[in-house]
Structure 1
Amino acid sequence: MEVKKVLNNNVVIALHSELDEVILTGKGIGFGKKEGDPVDESGAEKFFVLKNEQEQEQYKQLLIEVDESFIGCMNDCMTMLENRFQVQLHEHIHVALTDHLYYAVHRIKQGMEIRNPFLQETELAYPAEYQAARDLLFHLETCTGIPMPEGEIGFVALHIHTALTQRPLQELNEHTRLVSGLVERIEETLEVSMNTKNLDHQRLLRHLHQTLERIQRGDYGDEPDSLKNVLKYEYPVCYNLSWKLITMMQQALKTPVPESEVVYLTLHLQRLSRKHK
């Protein structure tokens, strides 16, 4: 490879014989280099082939704007995540999460408050990613000296889940907001207050998230009509509430929800309702 452009001492854009333009990051990899100089891949801590031109330009701009120490810290964070989950993360996270956290730190320095109304839903839906995000932000605090608010854990957890599953971040945000709306309807109808430390509540919230994922994938079966009929007459309040929740899902997702979900939801809701009587 040969250098196309030196962005700073730790980042260069290079030309690869097969991959065309690539981004290399590593301590001192750009020091003393100029256009046309050879560069050895073995000296790079990270090797990016950003095939999406828009992402490529966005990351280049970030590398120019962001402090070298911050880029180094983010590289450490990516290594931590890859070691933790034993995967090679989708490269999009390098752009999206670096961009998100750089501006989050900037807002915090300016005294702007960062709120996350869906923190509990995110923790219950993606517990492994949530704990990884907590540890990542602790490392970022060590690097920057800037205390990160708890709400950021949820935002970072969604970025991590996106990188692991390659699900769009927008889809995850929409699902999290939808689950929050479903919970409000459940609390209002059953006159309960959801407690995320309660095991039954945790199961219900996880079930709602998993339901949305199954619907999105088209991955679901069906239940015998006889079981639906039994639940309809045995637990009419929870059964009717289940249909209202399904209607909310259908309207939000703009796709049909299988009737089999009525069975699962009714059983979860009845368990919840019985515990609060």
Structure 2
Amino acid sequence: MYTIKKIFNNNSVLALDSEKREIVILGCGIAFKKKVNDKVSEDNVEKTFILKQKDASEKFKLLLEDISAEYISLCYDIIEYAKNILDKELNDYIYVTLTDHINYVIEACKQGISKPNILIWEIKKFYPKEFAVGLKAIEFIEDELGYKLHEDEAGNIALHLINAQVNEKSDTVEDVYNITKKINDILNIVKYTYNLELDEKTLNYERFITHLRFFFKRLERKEITESEDNFLLEQVKNKYTDAYECMLKIEKYLGQELSNEEQLYLMLHIQRVTTREK
């Protein structure tokens, strides 16, 4: 049995479980004709939310006061589906950010407003699993609510899922968006420098993308370290002159000089991702 602590609407309440933990519970009509301190049977509960992060929990409770329980339930299903498909732990804030986002999108859809995602193709390329979940999410939305959203929205949902895989609260969807754009810009620098198309199906391409993702996170956190041994760097510069010139263009694009260690690994990845194409 659950004890009601606060009623949001007929279908959602804040309750205490048997261990006196705060828990949000959803169920059709579970709060109908109920009041604070009344009991709710577990048989009537359809979904439960236990958010360990206090800040996320408080914001989620505020959302429940303004957003339909139907939307909350739908987002719960999307997030659970994402966890299973991605096989990754998601930050509690996903329940707040994704629910708020989908509520906004649906309200905008009712008014005939849509916002294009200018990085849709990059998201498809760099985050295919998250994008696939986003496509499934807009299927859920159409099936449950009857609103047909453009695939651009699958990209936006994917960005929220990408962000939720990062533990730091400071990482926002905008951060992921900006990093994705920078990765695409660097890929274009490599393509134009070597005058070739990169094979996106190769392992070297995947490794390069992964390297760039972590590279930008290191830049952001100022975790760049300087190697004391420059011998290998000089050897690579002399052997792979095209990769060196390409690396210099990337430095110019970034507007900062990279450490010797970052220069070395960037050149090696550029050499690998372009050599396979020749």
What TM-score do you get using the length of structure 1 for normalisation?
0.77
Q: Percent identity?
A: 28
Query: Contact between 1:124 and 1:206, CA under 8 Å: does it hold in 2?
Result: no
Aligned-pair CA distance for 1:250: 7.0
Residue matched to 1:91: 92
Note closer, same or farther for the CA distance 1:33–1:49 as it changes in structure 2 (3 Å cut). farther
**Deviation per CA, 1:129-187, whole angstroms, max 9, x where unpaired?**
23222222222221122222222222222222332332422432332232233234334
User: Would you say 1:73 and 2:74 are equivalent positions?
Assistant: yes
Shift of 1:199: 6.4
Segment drifting more, 142-151 vs 188-197: 188-197
Partner of 1:177: 181
Q: RMSD value over aligned CA atoms? A: 3.6
Contact residue 223 and residue 263 of structure 1 kept, 8 A: no
Residue 141 (structure 2) pairs with residue 140 (structure 1): yes
Q: Is the contact made by 1:215 and 1:257 (CA closer than 8 Å) also made in structure 2? A: no
Maintained 8 Å contact 2:53/2:92: no
Aligned match of 1:25: 26
Which residue identity does 1:141 align to in structure 2? E
Query: Do structure 1's residue 210 and structure 2's residue 214 form an aligned pair?
Result: yes
Which residue number corresponds to residue 245 of structure 1?
Answer: 250
Task: Give the match for residue 153 of structure 1.
Answer: 154
Specify which of 230, 241, 262 is matched with residue 236 of structure 1.
Answer: 241
State the number of aligned residues: 272
Does the 8 Å contact 2:237/2:244 carry over to 1? yes
Structure 1 residues 206 and 48: CA distance shift in structure 2, 3 A: same
Gaps of 5+ in 2: none
Are the equivalent residues in 1 in contact too, given 2:3–2:39 (CA < 8 A)? yes
Deviations 1:93-152 (A, max 9, x none): 111001111112222333333322223333343333232222222222211222222222
| CA distance in 1 between partners of 2:32 and 2:76 (Å) | 18
Secondary structure of 1:2 counterpart: strand
The AA in structure 1 aligned to 2:236 is L
List alignment gaps of at least 5 residues for structure 1.
Answer: none
